[in-house]
Amino acid sequence: MIGEHTPTGMLLSDYRAHPVRQMIALVGAYGNQALPSKAEIDKLGLGTRDRKALEVALRAVAELRDDPDHDPTELSAREMAEQRAGEVVGGLPDEQKAPDWFERSQEDLSTLGPAELAARVKANTGGWV
């Protein structure tokens, strides 16, 4: 059913556009070949608990999708993807459920001056510049 796994308080359109939901849904459709890279998951900026929940959901959905012995009368990979995405997105902090959360979380480094950018790089690399 459409919207069945939409987290409480979220609009269906916001949930369906959420990057975590889209990532899990893609794996539900294409299996292991659609698994995101570590860098793609890192880019989401999730906390440790939420990242672990996402990784577990992605692996479970990929395994089900690619299982040649899966009984088609049971839960499909796409259905499982929706269920797991609803659980992961529903468990995120409220600010990460906002429709523009991901866009706001991507900092525009082009607005920083050379000194500010150098300081940011130094801070994020442990001083290895």
Cβ atoms 10, 97 nearer than 8 A: yes
Tell me the C-alpha to C-alpha distance, in Å, between residue 101 and each of 10, 17, 20, 114: 13, 11, 11, 27
Q: Is there a contact between 61 and 77 (Cβ–Cβ < 8 Å)? A: yes
pLDDT of residue 51: 95
CA distance 119 to 129: 10
Q: How far apart are CA 80 and CA 28, in angstroms?
A: 7
End-to-end CA distance of the chain: 52
Residue 10 CB contacts under 8 Å (≥ 6 apart), including other chains = 18, 89, 97
Q: Provide mean pLDDT across the span 21-25.
A: 94
Chain segment 39-81, per-residue pLDDT in tens: 999 989 899 999 999 999 999 999 999 999 988 788 899 999 9
pLDDT tier, 108 (very low <50, low <70, confident <90, very high otherwise):
low
Per-residue confidence (pLDDT) for residue 126, from 0 to 100: 58
Tokens 């556009």 correspond to what residue? 17
pLDDT of residue 8: 87
